[in-house]
Structure 1
Amino acid sequence: MENKYHCSIIEKAIYFITENYRSQPTLEEVSDYVCLSKYHFQRLFHQWVGVSPKQFLQFTTVEHAKKCLEAGRTTLATAYEVGLSGNGRLHSRGVWKKGRRSHFKISSYPNSIWGDGHSRI
């Protein structure tokens, strides 16, 4: 019974994060949504998903950023689209999971903030 309950909480949390990644919800906002303390939610999420809620949010943000960049959006437009404050934040989100780079390099996409086809990041 407890496993079903925990599973439903994690499912709700993942739904909330993926639907609201553009606003970059805090741990407190997500834990409030699932009606748990942020400390208990953090432990439960990590236990079930294998990463922290913050890491999951970062991964979700990077995945959406990849899609925008692959569609030809500029790095600045992509950063704003995924809820980040600018290019630097987009670049820093390319680092995920204990300092290892994901298979995502902003410099491999053709558009820059200047729109001339040369990435300056």
Structure 2
Amino acid sequence: MTALTTLGLGPLIPLGEALPPPEVAWRLALVGVGMGLHGGPTQALVLGAAPPGRAATAASTLQLSRPLGFALGPVPAAAVWGLAGQAHGVRAGIAFAATAAGPAVPLLTLRRQPSTTAG
């Protein structure tokens, strides 16, 4: 899911300021599908890793962090876009977003080892 988001953002980088709508549309569709498919597996991953007595806290934290990420995530990309100026702003903003999304792919593949207690 995160890989789809990254795969959609990556090909937007070379487009620069010449953004033909059909070329942008299919890439943004990949981003949207990746973000849409992200919710269910993330919820299962978080709740599966939470101790039984903390499942409600884990679920509510996830439900808070997701909309915060959607609301605040574009801010750094927009800042990079603005700082890069007119000539390179589009590429810089999208490159930043793709670079930020990329590391999440391997992190999401890590599995939490169950803790064993001696006793």
With normalisation by structure 2, the TM-score equals: 0.29
More helix by share: 2
